[in-house]
Amino acid sequence: MNKRTLAGLLGVGILVLAALFAPVLTPYAPNTQSVVERLTAPSVKHILGTDELGRDVLSRMLYGGRVSMSVGIIAVLIATFIGLLVGALAGYYGGVMDNIIMRTVDIILTIPTLFVILMLVVFLGPSITNIMIIIGLTSWPDIARIIRAEVMSIKKAPYIDATRVLGLPKKMIIAKHIMPNALGPVFVYMIFGVSGAILTESGLSFLGLGVQPPAASWGNILSSGKDYIETGWWLTAFPGLAIFLAVFSYNLLGEGLRDFFNPKLSR
């Protein structure tokens, strides 16, 4: 394991554990308000301070991390499922099916993703579930292209010809002999995809189109803190730092895995 993979894995591990053990790490509930403690600077009692409603920022950051990373992970899983299915069909069968699928993918890729996401959010309404689904449904074309290329390469291998000679069904050949050998680049893309999904969710929540208050996410904590940037710098500094660390850690992990699956790129 190289240094980048280790650093990324450590960063992601710390963020995930902090989100999972949020009730243990802070005695405060994320939505408990205290008028007398509003906009309190970081102290021993409130390590990251309080917001404009007197809510503990550390508590909201930890619980917000659960939301932000859950959205990223589930959205990527949705995109991966669709991309695997579409890419495998296009790569294995080729011909007319490949042309239809890939031309459809090309058309989708010409449409600005952010515009589509904003349009769907406005149409369906902002919620955690909708954000997961929307990001997932707009992120699969790249995975489909990766899988298609891998499948087209693997299906020419001698051991795949042997499975055909044995008379194995095409579905079994794809599921048991091709896909397991084509997943390496997909794992790398998934890691990078999580960081991208976290950024997208944070941006939507910052604009008020993502996770809705009082539920906490790094994006809406940052959004509510922008009005108090002079008197409550911690309301923007800490969620901004959390987003940076999450994206940086996932990208480091993705780069490390990319070098592992393709050592030539690390030279």
pLDDT band at residue 262 using 50, 70 and 90 as cut-offs: low
What residue ranges do the domains of the chain occupy?
3-12+54-266
Q: What pTM was estimated for this model as a whole?
A: 0.85
Query: Is domain 3-12+54-266 annotated with CATH 1.10.357.10?
Result: no
Q: 108 near 137, Cβ under 8 Å?
A: no
pLDDT in tens, 11-68: 999 999 998 999 999 899 999 998 899 999 999 999 999 999 999 999 999 999 988 8
Q: How many CA atoms lie within 13 A of 149 on its CB side?
A: 8
Q: Does the pLDDT of residue 265 top 60, yes or no? A: no
pLDDT in tens, 80-127: 999 999 998 888 888 888 899 999 888 888 888 888 888 888 888 888
